[in-house]
A and B are shown apart, each in its own frame.
Chain A
Amino acid sequence: MQRIIMPYEVIIGLEVHVQLKTKAKAFCPAPYVYGEEPNTLCDPVVLALPGTLPVINKKAIDLMIKMGLMFGCDIAAECKWDRKNYWYPDSPKNYQISQYDQPLCKGGAVEIELPGASRSVMGEHKKMELTRIHLEEDPAKLNHNGNFSYIDDNRTGASLAEIVTEPVFRSGDEAAAFLNALRMALSQQGISDCDMEKGQMRCDANVSVRKLGETTLNTRTESKNLNSASAVKACIEWESKRQIALYEAGRGAEIVQETRRWDAEQGYGYTMRSKEDSQDYRYFPDPDLMPVRVDQAWKDEIRATIGELPFDRQRRYMEALGLPYTAASALIGDPELCAYFEQAARLCGKPQEVANYVVNDLLRELAAAGEEGQGPLPLAQCRLTPTRLAQLVKLTAEGVITKQVAHEVFVESFKTGGDPLAIVDQKGLRAQNDTGELEKLARAALAADPAAVAKVKGGNDKAINALKGPIMKATRGKADPKAIDELLRRLIAEI
């Protein structure tokens, strides 16, 4: 008999490394950008040449404070630095400047959204608690090739935030949702680009399982360097199954505290090193750096730069502006698009209609207008301004044009940037409101298709569409479909 209920729960804590969007590295003026020729972004400090000293990049602390305030962390009054000593060629100093016992940010939480029952249904929102966020240096990138390893020090010393969560995740879905939420929030606030393919965001997952109802934590494993949200989800699911299978087989003792690697292509994890040979990092305060005081004025200054968080915006769009979940969700991933939408909505007072245009017509046209292989046309280059869109929505709302025609005008204005009303008049697209003319067309349609008329009279309501077609065609969409519908029904009733 197959087991139906899994009597286990999975306990997951995440450690996420995020490269901060600072021009210079964390403790020296050398720049960091992704994708440069190896070892071109180095200076004497990066290479730890004799006599060099670190100097904190204040911009990195700015971004750390911003992140901490965004997530409701306590910001330490003093930002202190420690050396983490270890032997590995990825660090020219053989120690990493980090924060050991006094992280800059403590506590706080990140709001996540779980997948809904379907794409148009919003899933559950949860706040995932953070333990701490601290600032440290990114190590070098090592490329192993046979018997040799090649060091690229471009990344060495780049500013890196380590975000550590409480063990509050219960599924791979939650972990993946956390990474997505983090990426959306951090990239929108200019803290990190969070491109996992470029290593700007890296995730380690601590996983253990226990029988439902148990309150103590079992031995956990740490899976390192998960490079996408889906890898995190897949790894957690695989690893928890592995652990459950071992417990079920009475081999729980084989689960040891260890560091594991995840093979995303093959979809399995394996031991990298056991914690038994774990290192003593000999942490001590870095005597080359002075603690940095973080006062209220600094925090206030940073707080003023924080924009609306994505899920706060989602709530506002849905609750105050009445947008459907799908439209709100399509918007909140792109603050520029949100700004566009909000400006147009403000100008015409019709947020739902504007949202509809933005997430459907505008995104479609931008995608079509983009250059080959370059992605969609950037919004900044869009000729159809929010003002034009607002005018268009107004023309429809006031009955000057029909919705059908409006889409045509949209496309034209998108191409030319022209005034929608001018386009309407130039092309003669005003709504056909001449009831005498419409009635003439309707009577002709009835006369031309007596079979359809009979069907409608016989109770087949849909048959009326066959009668509308010729009228729409004759008016080239300028007539209000609702008016045509009413007119036809009146005339059929009279027959």
Chain B
Amino acid sequence: MNLTTFDTASSSVSRMEAIISRCNAVEPKIGAFLARDEKDALSQAKASDERRAAGRALGPLDGVILGVKDVIAVKGQRLSCASKILENYVSPYDAHVVEKLKAAGAILWGRLNMDEFAMGSSCENSAFQKTHNPWALDRIPGGSSGGSAAAVASGECDAALGSDTGGSIRQPAACCGIVGLKPTYGLVSRYGLAAFASSLDQIGPMGRSVADCAAILQTIAGHDERDSTSLKVDVPDYMAALAEPEKPVTIGLPKEYFGEGIDPEIRAKVEAAAKFYEGRGCKLKEVSLPHSSCAIPVYYIIAPAEASSNLARYDGVRYTRRSAAATNTDEVFSLSRGEGFGAEVKRRILLGSYALSSGYYDAYYVRAQKVRSLIRSDFMKAFEEVDVLLTPTTPQPPFRFGEKTDDPLAMYLEDIFTISVNLAGLPGMSLPCGFTAAGLPVGMQLIGKPLGEAQMLQTAQVFEKAHEYASMRPAL
């Protein structure tokens, strides 16, 4: 039984050709891709057809066309992180997830736009181009995995890979009306994911349905000895879990997530979803995550601190773009980085360097780590009483370009509901739960227990099956 929306019956080449013409038609309006190698994609599709013809199909993802966020390494393809500093860099190796997907027969299609080094919530921080929300072309697609979300929503690929450090899969998924899942920290290897904040980053699937995401997660999850933070656990059979009969669960509604600052239409949609679950026999329970208000300050200490060190390798010395004006070693560093990084990346590097400086380290970084563990214990306490948590994904519907560019703090608040999940290392996903009166997609977030992806997916699927959001497409 094929639970996914993936068409594995048609020829891969003909489907790839259709996707290529779709991209040619809509990309001028969307701008999701930084690069597309049609020849390479068609030869992957041809190989898929040959396997199928020989009865050697590699599984449910054989021939599925997946877009890849430009932060994940694919051998022989550029890996720019949407940054000028890596503009001409080509990865000589495959990320762990890419190896897995290639082995599963997936067709890896293009490089998807993002906020530079995954820092941002609108894709406006890409050094190269804007990506437009397929539901409202004058609005942002969310970020940082905005290219991935927009490409999936506009039918330019079957599904895509994103990465999520503070909401970068879930927030754009909500903005573009698709499903996006951030796995438990350590479930998916980070090997080959250009690091933003090592202790928060996770690669995850973005797709048009819950099952699509589950099928991709099935393939990319699992231990990898090249990532020391990768968990040594058996990966559950997510697809089997989705095929199980519906089971009512206890759903927690964290009261801190329904307070001030949330758009009333979004609140109404998520509350309606809660009601829906109640109607299906689930128990609703209000819970408290008292340290929620600390999440943004804690995140903006820890993530920039790690980033300031992780991004130090982009220095103009070995493989990154070197400033033509540099005349000595110090200038190779300072001019290359000065020219190569955008404003938001520089802002975060400065924040992080400051937080780690001697004399400030204990007051900022050490303290933030302590509060981080309090945030996690809030969740663990809530999970003693409930199975999953239900919250809005974003406080506001997707905004217009430029609306928050000059106000970084307002931009940071975009991730207020998603950031805690990264800090706590939990699985979280966003799925569509309706549209605003203006026709903008609204997403709701489900948060699972550590390694509770299967139950989270099951819960999501109950809602999805009863609504038609998964099949709705923007008119382009």
Contact = CB atoms under 8 A, between A and B. Distances in A.
Interface of A: 44, 47-56, 83, 85, 87-89, 92-95, 149, 151, 280-284, 287-290
Contact of B313 (A53, A92, A149, A288): A92
A51 B195 contact: yes
A51 B194 contact: yes
Contact of A50 (B81, B199, B308): B81
A191 to B, nearest CB: 24
A54 B310 CA distance: 12
A284 B305 contact: yes
Given A47-B319, A290-B228, A95 B357 contact: no
B309 A95 contact: yes
A281 B357 CA distance: 8
B92 A49 contact: yes
Contacts of B195: 50-51, 53, 288
Contact of B95 (A51, A94, A151): A51
13 contacts: A48-B313, A50-B86, A50-B194, A51-B95, A54-B228, A87-B330, A95-B312, A151-B317, A280-B357, A284-B356, A289-B229, A290-B228, A290-B229
Interface of B: 72-73, 79, 81, 86, 89, 91-93, 95, 190-195, 197-199, 225-229, 305-306, 308-309, 312-313, 315, 317-319, 329-330, 332-333, 353, 356-358, 361, 365
A229 B226 CA distance: 40
Contacts of A48: 313, 318
Most chain A beta-carbon contacts within 10 A, residue among B93, B227, B313, B319: B313
Contacts of A289: 228-229
B357 A282 contact: yes
A87 B333 contact: yes
A213 to B, nearest CB: 36
A284 B366 CA distance: 9
Nearest to B227: A53
Contact of B228 (A44, A49, A53, A95): A53
Main SS of the interface on chain B? loop
B312 A49 contact: no
A282 B228 contact: no
B226 A55 contact: yes
A88 B86 CA distance: 20
B309 A282 contact: yes
Contacts of B73: 49-51
B191 A284 contact: no
B313 A93 contact: yes
Contacts of B329: 88-89, 149
Contact of A94 (B86, B91, B197, B313): B313
A149 B226 CA distance: 32
With most chain B CB atoms within 10 A of its CB, the pick from A56, A94, A95 is A94
Q: Which of B190, B197, B228, B353 has the most CB of A within 10 A?
A: B228
A47 B79 contact: no
Contacts of A53: 190-191, 195, 226-228
A49 B199 CA distance: 19
Contact of A284 (B72, B95, B309): B309
A50 B92 CA distance: 10
A291 to B, nearest CB: 10
A49 B93 contact: yes
Contacts of A92: 313, 317-318
A48 B227 CA distance: 14
Contact of B91 (A49, A281, A284): A49
B356 A282 contact: yes
A84 to B, nearest CB: 10
Contacts of B229: 287-290
Contacts of B81: 50
B198 A94 contact: no
B72 A49 contact: no
B258 to A, nearest CB: 32
Given A288-B229, A290-B228, A51 B313 contact: no
A282 B313 contact: no
Given A50-B86, A55-B226, A284-B305, A44 B198 contact: no
Nearest to A42: B318
A55 B225 contact: yes
A298 B356 CA distance: 34
A151 B315 CA distance: 14
A88 B317 CA distance: 10
Nearest to B79: A50
Q: Give the one of B92, B194, B315 with max A CB within 10 A.
A: B315
Contact of A85 (B199, B309, B333): B309
B372 to A, nearest CB: 12
A283 B225 CA distance: 26
B119 to A, nearest CB: 15
Nearest to B357: A280
A57 to B, nearest CB: 12
Nearest to A52: B191
B334 to A, nearest CB: 9
Contacts of A52: 191-192
Contacts of A93: 312-313
Contacts of A56: 228
A55 B230 CA distance: 11
A89 B309 contact: no
A306 to B, nearest CB: 28
